[in-house]
């Protein structure tokens, strides 16, 4: 609604009084307090049709009365400078009155409104008889009831400015929020919005030196219902004053100049109160016991510095608050890793190899590689082939530009191709399988050749991400062989793909997650990646492997139990298993 500025005759403002303000009927419920030259009242606002006088709506409102050249006038100037800024609540009306009587004392029950509960039947009992008339001549009623009982906080003065707006729901105000146990993310979200508002007003040459949390609405968007704590940049206060969120120099320096660093202190006070459940101590050199929260400790300490020149400018403060919130929202990732390999009970040489490599681009996004290779071609050749393949992957430099999923998938393919070149050049009569998982943050990519396997265990369900590049697998896929028959098939160890069989790998030779329609997939908290050679999965079927890892065991004990099971069942081949478990900490 467009703000209405009108002029009329005298008006009485007191609890239990009803009156007209612009196009609204107002029932004044309570006096909320006085700050500087401004009285604050809670009221019920009735909007009505001008012609029919029918009530359209009934809402809680904020009625403020002050001098025409004081805080309310500054608010009108600031509102004009801000325009229709989304963080400023709507002003319903601005009215100037030639003569206003203001009292914090509740009117007697026999006066203009009488009811036990002001919230009951408000519309039914609200009639023109209840209204305090707007008059131009003396009223014997007003003279008897009001003028003879003037008290402190009441006044009969000249022109007054009256502003009317809705009042935020008390449960949704910043005041209510500051009494609750809020997570750091929510605290930083609110602080960032308030700082953003202060920065914007500062860019319009206005700065806040005081706020009233009960008149600030929280939620998805912070809204200010009272702007009287703002002053023009460069103004000098005629006298010092003290407020809960005022910079200390405002109290002791009566010639204090207004600048944005006063707003920085206000934001710091809010942060401190939200975290510590109390306001910071006031004074020239406040002794602050700030909780040891990284970054926030430094922000609060700098914002509340008694020396204004040491405080952050609002733009820098906003960047720090946003950065801190993003840091909290970004989960902390940690990988638990364990592997074990055995020569088994039939072989004399272990031709399996494995490797684990972790790298941190930052403490927020770790990179981890898990690798398993199963060599072929006899004791010496198979061992050499698998070792070469694993070592090539472990020694490869990690590019600094692994910023997206496609780049990571391409890098993995290049690692397998390089491993194949090394095996082809140095191993004459051998080869190896190679299975790699790459997790960057919560993003997983794989590269796979051969019949070693890659499993994902999530919420007690085991999914095979890799495909078996073997003769038996092809026969099963074509329907020529039943799965049950594959365990005893004479060609079950014959591979259709391996490294070292040819110098250059054709396109599509390396399996990725593209079989699932993507180059990568997101990981969840508690996911376990299991890589194993055929010496494991041939003796420990997937359902049993899932049970081993889903019981209340650490991955270390699960890996060890798996190897024990392999040995107990004959271990006719080398057996290697590597497990990686993702742990996500969402707390600060």
Query: pLDDT per residue over 283-302, tens digit each?
Result: 545 568 899 998 999 999 99
- Partnered with residue 579 across adjacent β-strands are 338, 530
CA 38 to each of CA 8, 54, 73, 160: distance values in angstroms, whole numbers, following the listed order: 20, 32, 11, 10
Cβ count near 553 (within 10 Å): 13
Closest CA to 90 of 217, 2, 20, 175: 2
Q: How far apart are CA 383 and CA 380, in angstroms?
A: 5
Closest CA to 224 of 268, 162, 179, 168: 168
User: Is residue 153, in this structure, part of any structural domain at all?
Assistant: yes
Q: How far apart are CA 183 and CA 80, in angstroms?
A: 36
- Residue 414: the pLDDT is 96
Say yes or no: 185 and 148 in one domain. Answer: no
Give the domain extent around 201.
Answer: 172-329
- Residue 22: the pLDDT is 81
Among the candidates 110, 138, 167, a domain finishes at 167
Say yes or no: 206 and 67 in one domain. Answer: no
CATH of the domain at 349: 3.60.40.10
CATH of the domain at 316: 1.10.510.10
Say yes or no: 222 and 349 in one domain. Answer: no
Say yes or no: 320 and 371 in one domain. Answer: no
Task: Give the chain's residues under pLDDT 50.
Answer: 1-8, 109-154, 156, 284
**Which token pair is 156?**
């009969």
Q: Is 307 helix (H, G, I), strand (E, B) or coil?
A: coil
Q: Is 365 helix (H, G, I), strand (E, B) or coil?
A: coil
**Measured on CA atoms in the order 474, 479, 485, 488, is the torsion positive or negative?**
negative
- Residue 55: the pLDDT is 61
User: Is residue 575, in this structure, part of any structural domain at all?
Assistant: yes
Among the candidates 167, 194, 229, a domain finishes at 167
Say yes or no: 384 and 475 in one domain. Answer: yes
Closest CA to 338 of 47, 81, 581: 581
Find the DSSP H helices in 241-295.
248-252, 260-276
- Residue 120: the pLDDT is 35
Which residues lie below 8 Å from residue 240, measured CB to CB, with a gap of 6+? Answer: 250, 251, 252, 253, 254, 256
Total tally of structural domains belonging to the chain: 3
CA 111 to each of CA 18, 104, 227: distance values in angstroms, whole numbers, following the listed order: 11, 15, 34
Contact criterion met (CB below 8 Å) for 351 and 386 = yes
User: Is residue 338, in this structure, part of any structural domain at all?
Assistant: no
Q: How far apart are CA 24 and CA 47, in angstroms?
A: 5
Which residues lie below 8 Å from residue 96, measured CB to CB, with a gap of 6+? Answer: 5, 6, 7, 68, 159, 160, 161, 162
Say yes or no: 360 and 224 in one domain. Answer: no
Contact criterion met (CB below 8 Å) for 235 and 213 = no
Sequential DSSP letters for 480-526: SS-GGGGGG-TTTT-BS--BTSSSSPPTT-SB-GGGGTSS-EE--TT
User: Is residue 181, in this structure, part of any structural domain at all?
Assistant: yes
User: Is residue 291, in this structure, part of any structural domain at all?
Assistant: yes
- Residue 474: the pLDDT is 86
Say yes or no: 396 and 306 in one domain. Answer: no
Say yes or no: 307 and 366 in one domain. Answer: no
Say yes or no: 429 and 563 in one domain. Answer: yes
- Partnered with residue 360 across adjacent β-strands are 366
User: Is residue 340, in this structure, part of any structural domain at all?
Assistant: no
Say yes or no: 429 and 564 in one domain. Answer: yes
Among the candidates 305, 329, 353, a domain finishes at 329
Q: How far apart are CA 422 and CA 390, in angstroms?
A: 11
Say yes or no: 116 and 219 in one domain. Answer: no
Cβ count near 543 (within 10 Å): 8
Span 249-295, pLDDT tens digits: 888 776 789 999 999 999 999 999 999 999 998 654 556 889 999 89
Say yes or no: 23 and 129 in one domain. Answer: yes
């Amino acid at each position: 609604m467009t703000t209405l500025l009108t002029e009329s005759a005298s008006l009485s403002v007191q609890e239990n009084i009803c009156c007209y303000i612009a196009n609204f009927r107002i029932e004044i419920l309570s006096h909320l307090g006085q700050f500087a030259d401004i009285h604050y009242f809670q009221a019920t606002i009735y909007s009505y049709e001008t012609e029919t006088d029918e009530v359209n709506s009934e809402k809680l409102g904020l009625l403020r009365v002050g001098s025409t050249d004081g805080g309310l006038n500054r608010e009108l100037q600031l509102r004009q400078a801000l325009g229709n800024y989304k963080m400023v609540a709507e002003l319903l009306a601005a009215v100037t009155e030639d003569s206003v009587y203001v009292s914090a004392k509740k009117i007697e029950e026999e006066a203009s409104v009488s009811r036990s509960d002001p919230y009951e039947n408000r519309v039914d009992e609200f009639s023109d008889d209840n209204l305090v008339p707007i008059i131009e001549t003396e009223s014997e009623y007003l003279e008897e009831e009001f003028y003879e009982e003037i008290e402190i906080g009441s006044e009969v003065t000249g022109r007054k400015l009256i502003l009317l707006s809705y009042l935020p729901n008390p449960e949704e105000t910043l005041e209510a929020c500051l009494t609750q146990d809020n997570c750091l993310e929510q605290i930083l979200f609110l602080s960032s919005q308030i700082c953003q508002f202060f920065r914007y007003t500062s860019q319009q040459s206005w700065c806040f030196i005081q706020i009233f949390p009960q008149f600030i609405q929280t939620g998805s968007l912070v809204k200010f219902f009272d702007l009287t704590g703002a002053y023009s940049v460069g103004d000098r206060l005629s006298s010092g004053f003290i407020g809960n969120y005022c910079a200390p120099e405002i109290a002791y320096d009566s010639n204090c100049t207004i600048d944005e660093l006063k707003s920085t202190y206000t934001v710091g006070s809010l942060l401190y109160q939200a975290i510590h459940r109390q306001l910071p101590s006031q004074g020239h050199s406040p002794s602050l016991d700030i909780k040891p929260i990284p970054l926030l400790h430094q922000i609060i300490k700098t914002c509340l510095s008694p020396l204004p020149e040491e405080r952050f400018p609002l733009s820098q403060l906003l960047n720090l608050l946003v950065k801190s919130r993003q840091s909290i929202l970004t989960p902390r990732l940690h990988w638990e890793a364990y592997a074990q390999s055995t020569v088994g009970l039939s072989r004399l040489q272990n031709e399996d190899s494995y490797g684990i490599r972790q790298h941190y681009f930052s403490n927020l996004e770790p990179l981890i590689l898990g690798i398993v290779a199963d060599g072929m071609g006899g004791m010496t050749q198979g061992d050499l082939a698998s070792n070469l393949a694993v070592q090539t992957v472990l020694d490869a430099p990690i590019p600094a530009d692994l910023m997206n999923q496609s780049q990571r998938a391409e890098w993995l393919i290049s690692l397998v191709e390089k491993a194949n070149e090394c095996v082809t050049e140095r191993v004459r009569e051998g080869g190896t399988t190679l299975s790699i998982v790459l997790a960057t943050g919560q993003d997983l990519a794989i590269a796979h050749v051969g019949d070693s396997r890659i499993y994902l265990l999530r919420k007690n369900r085991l999914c095979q991400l890799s495909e078996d590049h073997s003769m038996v697998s092809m026969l099963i896929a074509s329907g020529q062989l039943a799965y049950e028959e594959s365990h005893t098939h004479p060609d079950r160890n014959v591979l259709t793909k391996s490294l070292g069989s040819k110098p250059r790998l054709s396109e599509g030779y390396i399996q990725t997650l593209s079989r699932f329609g993507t180059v990568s997939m997101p990981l969840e908290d508690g996911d376990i990646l299991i890589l194993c050679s055929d010496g494991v999965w041939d003796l420990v079927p997937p359902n049993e492997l899932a049970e081993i890892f889903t019981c209340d065991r650490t991955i270390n004990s699960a890996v060890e139990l798996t190897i024990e099971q392999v040995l107990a069942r004959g271990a006719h081949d080398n057996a290697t298993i590597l497990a990686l478990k993702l742990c996500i900490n969402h707390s600060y």
